[in-house]
A and B are shown apart, each in its own frame.
Chain A
Amino acid sequence: MADIDSLETTVFDAIVLGTGFTQTIVAAALARAGKTVLHLDENEYYGGESGAFGFRDLLQWADKVAPAPSDDALNEENKDKIEFDKLVARAYDHFEIQLFDESGSNSNTAIDLASVLSSHSAASMDDRVKAVEEHITAAYNVKDLSKEAKEAIHTLASWASGSESSLTAANFKTVSPTQIRTLEEFLKATRKYNFDLSPKLLYSRGPLTNLLISSGIGKYLEFKLLERTAVYEALTDKVEMMPTSKEDVFVSKALSLKEKRLLMKFLQFAVDYENQKEVWRDYKDAPFIQFAQRAYGLSDKVLTAVVYAIGFDGNDYATTADGLKSVKVYLQSLGRYGNSAYLCPLYGVGSELAQAFCRVSAVYGGIYMLQHGLDKHNVDRNANIWKSVVDKSGQTLQANQLICTREYLSKDMDSYLEARILNRSYVSHCILVTDRSAFGETTLCKTLFPMGSLVLNPGETPVRKNQHTISVLQSDTPKASAKEELTAAIRKLVHIPGDPLSLKAPTSESNIDTQANTQAPQHLGDSTTAAAGEDKPRMSLDQELDMDQVREEILKAEKKLFEENENNTPVPSRPSTPSPKPASKVFQKSKTSASLSTVPTVAPRVLFSLFYKRTTSWPRVPYPVGSEKLTPLPENMTVLKPMNHSLDFESATEEARAVFERLCPGAEFLPPTPDPEDGAF
């Protein structure tokens, strides 16, 4: 990390603002191509909107971005100002925190906060929180409160003291001892988990992974494999494990022999679909599901596997061309590093990748400064040229090119962009912590609730169903097992130790009590109005999002996944265990078969949930990636899109490549780092 005073120069080829995923690729590519790069971030962490936090940091982050920012009118005074915090906070809303309460609000043990709140309604925020805190502490009546217990009570008090409009505040009209204890435990174990703000997966043979390998950046990263993909099936009202590889199809008990054949046949076609245009040409722009159903006669069960478990990239309105492309990259990815098509960085997704790219950039001379406050942009309005950015210390930093995301725009620039957004789009996120995995021993698992599969009002008419597909990524932290000696054979990119995804510093299990050590961070992402930013004219784009409905949808999915979990299909653990019908059952009556690990009889409970909505709005036209810019913005600046709803990084990677190729025409995009053995490095 550089110190601003130690900079030898304040003039650069490019200044990159924000360490979000896309910016970091661009920065790395520019540095690699020999450009001088200054990379700044207002945050103290890497990754921007793809950041990953421990529990305490997550709460702090939510605390910071949750309040709706005041919006001053644009004037001559503030037009060049950078109001980073404000713009970040604007991108998020509808925050709601819930904590599991065993006793229920009517119970005797609940601590009623209504009186203390109303008596302090006129007091300042700090005083209110203080009063509530004291009230809770008195009622809780536990001696020798730990540091974390005090912190928990303070946190609960501040939640309860929120404004009238705060959804979280409404959930904490009373607090219970259970809630205090739960929060205390979470705070104690805060470093045990990483919570991704925008969880995504990498295709093992997708453009990003290939780039990581070819550029040598993969050396900096460790990955684990997605173990399972499950899909909620409306017909059976169950969350079912999906066969997503040849081996899955082989051992699947859910599919009939004929279904297996049809599924495999379809997949064989999809690998080669580009050479068999005649089969799908007529369906090119039709929904993917329609093609799969009509042209291949797939049964509902198989359709679910193909369209959702295998071919779903986050877009509910995927055309046949989109779907086949996804299926193909999925299939190509299978088997590269094991029986799974997806990789997931071991310690948080976007932030890990972003840091790896930053590292490359730094190796090639890129200068990095986090937590660097920015004040304003200098723009030559006549020439329509961005000149420099001034930081909070008054230092002017110049460059030929500026690359940033929207949060780093000046008031003036942002207003211009805002005026051109015709359709709003959002992603709704819900981070859940549960007391156990929803899928037995499976640790990293993706679950989808297809659009229209969940009935929100069972038994009523008209039937309301979920309007968006809900994706859930579970990354569990099971017992830390010894590293397998032989996984070293899987070289370079993937190192798949038994360590769990989010365990940053593996703590020994005995430190935490039983409830906590099986906590499973869950991430429910609802890609609402997914198609809006993606130039897909099918939806009525301008309607205001019905947030109640979205919350209801996610709540329903949550119920299906956890509370009503006993319905779900048993999960054969894999891949090291035998087929679901082990022959040993037949041969040895005395020995019980250990090959089936079924879903625990106790349904998992949600202990904590954080709901929020993030805007992904972006002007539909005219901003084709990389080729053309929004004209009235200075010509030498590039504004990158927000992270979209997609479940993978491919479109963001492509955007970065396109931006680089526009800035450095003819230069190679992240060429391999030379092999030290050849002596050139």
Chain B
Amino acid sequence: EGRHGQKKENPESPELIKARQEREAIQVREYCDLKDSFKDIVDSKKRDNDSLRVTTSLLRKSPDYYTVWNVRRTILQEGFLNNSDDETANKIYANELEFVQENLKLNPKSYWMWNHRRWCLEHMSQPRWDKELAMVSKFLELDARNFHGWDYRRYIIRQMDLQDKSSSDKILDRTQSEFDFTTTKISQNFSNYSAWHNRSTLLGKLAKNMTEEEIEAAVDNEFDLVKNAIYTDPADQSAWLYDLWLIGREERSISILGATVISFDPLEIVVAFDKIVNVRNPFTVTTMLDHVATRLHGEWKATGSDSSRGSIWIFQHAPGAAYGPTVEVVIFPDDVCAVKAGSKLSSAVCFELETLNQNFDSISGRLERLPIGKNLMYDVSKRIGPIPVPDGTTHKPNSKYRVTSLTVSDSLEDRVALLEREIATVRELAELEPDCKWPIQILSMLLSELRETVSIQSTQAKLIDDECIELQEKLISIDPLRQDRYEDRRAQLVFDRETLHLIKDSKNFPEIEFADEQPRALDLSMRGLTHIPISSYLMHIHTLNLDSNSITSTRFLRNLLNVRQVNLSNNLIERLEGLRHAPTLELLTLENNLIAKWEDVVAGFVFWREGKLSRTGGHLKVLLGLNPIIENEGGEYVLEKRWEDVGEVGVEIQWKSEEYRVTEEALIEAEGEGAANIHMDGTRRISTTTVEFDAGSTL
């Protein structure tokens, strides 16, 4: 207890200060002596009483000195326990337990002490777990939020359960009493992550022995408890987390939007998912060669710099290798898993891709002609082996819907009813507490959850989207510290809303596919977007207008397999990225952004060109007017030209791959001066309004 703001009567006299310093000096000396003795023990490997005493004294002063604990155990094992009978050993362990407990009182958050305790108990012939439980209960009385205590408690319970593994009744009773213990702790102070967490796991265990009615009653009880906590203190995160856990998340299955061939030599196949996924097993690609089904070998890679995760995956076969008139891609449920929430494909899917007509004018033209996925999706979930017969249907293998984290139902309506009830409660709280971020955040999450249960093109879905966007805006204003996070979420929501018309509800809801009519242009200008989510939905877009947003990255371009023109003027972009998989891109407008270095532009081109895989020529024009690059590093005449000429300032590159490669490598080696050098070496003409950057003169 301090002196509570009362000013001290007399400042400490010099004598008192001196006396204190002397006392402290003695303590320091003692500690150093102990440490020296300890070193001797380590060196001499002495295992006697004296060395044990040194560790005792040292640990009293410095319980977190874990080496001493380790040495102490060695001393005990080699010097005392190795030739002692059971009784003596137990005495030694009991002594150790007492020593630890005494120190734990002073320092209840030391890992090493709890570990030492476990070591003793695990080596004793008859550890008294019940005593341990009582001990840890007392510690949790002193500090109900000490996670060491909770962790140790779970450990003890595990040990006790192990001893009673033949008696499920005993284990159940214990689980129940542990559950009741969390109730007690939560009643005393519900701001306790450990208690809520423990409760959730215990409840799950208890539920296994309950009837459906009992589970439902238990869940109601939990909702009641957590609602009371939330209404009492809406700013307490621990209760909200439990609430979210209780509501649970429906594991949504992954939908495949479509598959198509994008190159015939080498054979390249694209598969588009509606979520970002990991591929666990490469999808099987087979073709009929000489009336024999032959598996094609190649590599599946996601678009983007991290080729192990993405929503668009590309298969590349060896150049020049043969394949038949049709190619089949089979994807089994276990092959993919969503990066978030771990959801899976609901059934195996087979695509039959036509490869007979190879008469493409250009890459993009081909994409237009091949209707992606449509009429080519087959459900082979029940008939793996023989080539599947197309019947145009898929079915949900599991007909149960999640209602809460512990309950399921045959009807989706139950989930909807639960969500609507929860939303109403949180909405009321959000109205009462307009300045508290938690109710708003949870409301937004619950609404998104509800949106998953309704048809994605429905009016209700649109209303939900609008409300969620509004909620993000509210969050930005009341919690500016986390503004970026809310803005990203908002961008995702706006993007989802604006791209909704690109997909349609499938008759096998919640499966989705591309809409029949794919528009070619999408205008998302002035939407306040901070980023464009990595999404497959834009696969068919030719012209994308993103003028006047707050976008900081062009990475999303990697999923625009068919894009020609992107307007990113008046954004916050610093470098060119994601061009590797935008081979069809022709015009990229980046006026009034934050690009300051030529390297950041050139690197983007390199990837773009690599993305073309030396197949064909191309022409990309990037407009860079009003970027710092023009003013800072662009070289004096570029700057001059910009003012003299009307219209666009930028770089136009035309290239022929082989020739350009040489130039480019040379440039990149030039390091810091590279930017300027690119100009000098690669530019034929810097005199007109457009800076042309022509690497290879003609084909």
Q: Within 8 Å CB of B141, what residues of A?
A: 486
Instruction: Looking at the assembled complex, report how far the CB atom of B281 sits from the nearest CB atom of chain A, in whole angstroms.
Output: 42
Pairwise interchain contact B16-A679, C-beta atoms closer than 8 A: yes
**Segment among A51-59, A287-295, A365-373, A487-495 that sits at the interface with chain B:** A487-495
Q: Within 8 Å CB of B180, what residues of A?
A: 578, 582-584
Q: Within 8 Å CB of B7, what residues of A?
A: 668
Instruction: State the CA gap A588–B225 with chains docked (Å).
Output: 18
Contact with B184, one of A252, A485, A576 (Cβ below 8 angstroms): A576
Instruction: State the CA gap A104–B429 with chains docked (Å).
Output: 57
Asked if B229 is at the interface (CB within 8 A of a chain A CB), the reply is yes
Contact with B183, one of A264, A574, A579 (Cβ below 8 angstroms): A579
Asked if A505 is at the interface (CB within 8 A of a chain B CB), the reply is no
Interface size class of B (residues with CB under 8 A): 35 or more
Contact with A678, one of B16, B234, B425 (Cβ below 8 angstroms): B16
Asked if B433 is at the interface (CB within 8 A of a chain A CB), the reply is yes
With A213-B1, A257-B425, A578-B183 known to touch, is A251 a contact of B176 (CB < 8 Å)?
no
With A583-B221, A678-B16, A679-B19 known to touch, is A577 a contact of B187 (CB < 8 Å)?
yes
**Segment among B210-218, B625-633, B646-654 that sits at the interface with chain A:** B210-218
Interface string of B179-200 (1 = CB under 8 A from A): 1100110111110000000000
Contact with B190, one of A250, A576, A577, A678 (Cβ below 8 angstroms): A250
| CB interface residues, A 246-293, toward B, < 8 Å | 246-247, 249-252, 257-258, 260-262, 264-265
Pairwise interchain contact B234-A250, C-beta atoms closer than 8 A: no
Contact with A261, one of B20, B179, B231 (Cβ below 8 angstroms): B231
Contact with A250, one of B142, B217, B232, B433 (Cβ below 8 angstroms): B232
Pairwise interchain contact B187-A575, C-beta atoms closer than 8 A: yes
Asked if B432 is at the interface (CB within 8 A of a chain A CB), the reply is yes
| CB interface residues, B 4-43, toward A, < 8 Å | 4, 6-9, 12, 16, 19-20
Q: Within 8 Å CB of B206, what residues of A?
A: 587
Pairwise interchain contact A246-B9, C-beta atoms closer than 8 A: no
Contact with B221, one of A249, A252, A586, A678 (Cβ below 8 angstroms): A586
Instruction: State the CA gap A251–B187 with chains docked (Å).
Output: 7
Asked if A78 is at the interface (CB within 8 A of a chain B CB), the reply is no
Q: Within 8 Å CB of A586, what residues of B?
A: 214, 217-218, 221
Instruction: Looking at the assembled complex, report how far the CB atom of A35 sits from the nearest CB atom of chain B, in whole angstroms.
Output: 16
Instruction: Looking at the assembled complex, report how far the CB atom of B179 sits from the nearest CB atom of chain A, in whole angstroms.
Output: 6
Instruction: Looking at the assembled complex, report how far the CB atom of B175 sits from the nearest CB atom of chain A, in whole angstroms.
Output: 9
Instruction: State the CA gap A576–B181 with chains docked (Å).
Output: 10
Q: Within 8 Å CB of A493, what residues of B?
A: 1
Interface string of A478-504 (1 = CB under 8 A from B): 000000011001011100000000000
Highest count of chain B CB atoms <10 Å: which of A339, A579, A680? A579
Pairwise interchain contact B3-A247, C-beta atoms closer than 8 A: no
Contact with A260, one of B3, B138, B228 (Cβ below 8 angstroms): B228
Asked if A415 is at the interface (CB within 8 A of a chain B CB), the reply is no
Instruction: Looking at the assembled complex, report how far the CB atom of A297 sits from the nearest CB atom of chain B, in whole angstroms.
Output: 11
Q: Please name the residue on chain A nearest to B186 by beta carbon.
A: A579
Instruction: State the CA gap A285–B476 with chains docked (Å).
Output: 39
Q: Within 8 Å CB of B217, what residues of A?
A: 586
Instruction: Looking at the assembled complex, report how far the CB atom of A611 sits from the nearest CB atom of chain B, in whole angstroms.
Output: 40
Contact with B232, one of A264, A576, A680 (Cβ below 8 angstroms): A264
Asked if A210 is at the interface (CB within 8 A of a chain B CB), the reply is yes
Asked if B290 is at the interface (CB within 8 A of a chain A CB), the reply is no
Contact with A584, one of B176, B228, B425 (Cβ below 8 angstroms): B176
With A486-B138, A582-B180 known to touch, is A587 a contact of B233 (CB < 8 Å)?
no
Q: Within 8 Å CB of A485, what residues of B?
A: 138
Instruction: State the CA gap A258–B433 with chains docked (Å).
Output: 11
Instruction: State the CA gap A262–B425 with chains docked (Å).
Output: 15
Q: Within 8 Å CB of B681, what residues of A?
A: none
Q: Within 8 Å CB of A584, what residues of B?
A: 176, 179-180, 183
Contact with B9, one of A250, A260, A261, A668 (Cβ below 8 angstroms): A668
Q: Within 8 Å CB of B228, what residues of A?
A: 250-252, 257, 260, 579
Asked if A559 is at the interface (CB within 8 A of a chain B CB), the reply is no
Pairwise interchain contact A258-B187, C-beta atoms closer than 8 A: no
Q: Within 8 Å CB of B176, what residues of A?
A: 584, 587-588
Q: Within 8 Å CB of B250, what residues of A?
A: none
Asked if B306 is at the interface (CB within 8 A of a chain A CB), the reply is no
Q: Within 8 Å CB of B6, what residues of A?
A: 214, 671-672
Pairwise interchain contact A579-B227, C-beta atoms closer than 8 A: no
Instruction: Looking at the assembled complex, report how far the CB atom of B37 sits from the nearest CB atom of chain A, in whole angstroms.
Output: 28
Q: Please name the residue on chain B nearest to A675 by beta carbon.
A: B16
Asked if A464 is at the interface (CB within 8 A of a chain B CB), the reply is no
Q: Within 8 Å CB of A262, what residues of B?
A: 432
Interface string of B220-254 (1 = CB under 8 A from A): 01101101110111100000000000000000000
Q: Please name the residue on chain B nearest to A214 by beta carbon.
A: B6
Contact with A575, one of B188, B218, B222, B234 (Cβ below 8 angstroms): B188
Pairwise interchain contact A246-B218, C-beta atoms closer than 8 A: no
Q: Please name the residue on chain B nearest to A493 by beta carbon.
A: B1
Interface string of A578-609 (1 = CB under 8 A from B): 11011111111000000000000000000000
Instruction: State the CA gap A577–B183 with chains docked (Å).
Output: 8
Q: Please name the residue on chain B nearest to A256 by beta carbon.
A: B231
Pairwise interchain contact B19-A260, C-beta atoms closer than 8 A: no
Q: Within 8 Å CB of B138, what residues of A?
A: 485-486
Asked if B428 is at the interface (CB within 8 A of a chain A CB), the reply is yes
Q: Within 8 Å CB of A213, what residues of B?
A: 1, 4
Instruction: State the CA gap A588–B206 with chains docked (Å).
Output: 10
| CB interface residues, A 641-681, toward B, < 8 Å | 668, 671-672, 678-680
Q: Within 8 Å CB of A257, what residues of B?
A: 227-228, 231, 425, 428-429
Q: Within 8 Å CB of A668, what residues of B?
A: 7, 9
Highest count of chain A CB atoms <10 Å: which of B142, B180, B203, B428? B180
Instruction: Looking at the assembled complex, report how far the CB atom of B443 sits from the nearest CB atom of chain A, in whole angstroms.
Output: 15
Instruction: State the CA gap A672–B2 with chains docked (Å).
Output: 11
Instruction: State the CA gap A563–B341 with chains docked (Å).
Output: 61
Instruction: State the CA gap A486–B4 with chains docked (Å).
Output: 25
Instruction: State the CA gap A588–B16 with chains docked (Å).
Output: 64
Instruction: State the CA gap A250–B141 with chains docked (Å).
Output: 19
Contact with A489, one of B142, B221, B432 (Cβ below 8 angstroms): B142
Q: Within 8 Å CB of A577, what residues of B?
A: 184, 187
Pairwise interchain contact B4-A578, C-beta atoms closer than 8 A: no
Highest count of chain B CB atoms <10 Å: which of A485, A491, A587, A588? A587
Q: Within 8 Å CB of A250, what residues of B?
A: 187, 190, 228-229, 232-233
Instruction: Looking at the assembled complex, report how far the CB atom of B599 sits from the nearest CB atom of chain A, in whole angstroms.
Output: 53
With A250-B187, A578-B187, A583-B222 known to touch, is A258 a contact of B428 (CB < 8 Å)?
yes
Q: Within 8 Å CB of A258, what residues of B?
A: 231, 428, 432
Instruction: State the CA gap A585–B180 with chains docked (Å).
Output: 10
Q: Within 8 Å CB of A679, what residues of B?
A: 16, 19
Instruction: State the CA gap A257–B138 with chains docked (Å).
Output: 33
Instruction: State the CA gap A588–B224 with chains docked (Å).
Output: 18
Pairwise interchain contact B225-A581, C-beta atoms closer than 8 A: yes
Contact with B432, one of A251, A261, A492 (Cβ below 8 angstroms): A261
Contact with A210, one of B4, B214, B429 (Cβ below 8 angstroms): B4
Pairwise interchain contact B16-A491, C-beta atoms closer than 8 A: no
Q: Please name the residue on chain B nearest to A491 by beta carbon.
A: B1
Q: Can you pick out 28 interface pairs between chain A and chain B where the beta carbons lie within 8 Å of each other?
A: A213-B1, A213-B4, A214-B4, A246-B232, A249-B232, A250-B187, A250-B232, A257-B429, A258-B231, A258-B428, A260-B231, A264-B233, A577-B184, A578-B183, A579-B187, A579-B225, A579-B228, A581-B224, A583-B218, A584-B176, A585-B221, A668-B9, A671-B6, A671-B8, A672-B3, A672-B8, A679-B16, A679-B19
Q: Interface on B for A, CB 8 Å cutoff?
A: 1, 3-4, 6-9, 12, 16, 19-20, 138, 141-142, 176, 179-180, 183-184, 186-190, 203, 206, 210, 214, 217-218, 221-222, 224-225, 227-229, 231-234, 425, 428-429, 432-433
Give 4 closest A-B pairs by Cβ, nearest first: A578-B183, A671-B9, A257-B231, A214-B6
Given contacts A214-B4, A250-B233, A260-B232, 9 further A-B contacts (CB under 8 A): A246-B232, A247-B187, A261-B432, A579-B187, A579-B225, A581-B224, A583-B203, A583-B218, A672-B8
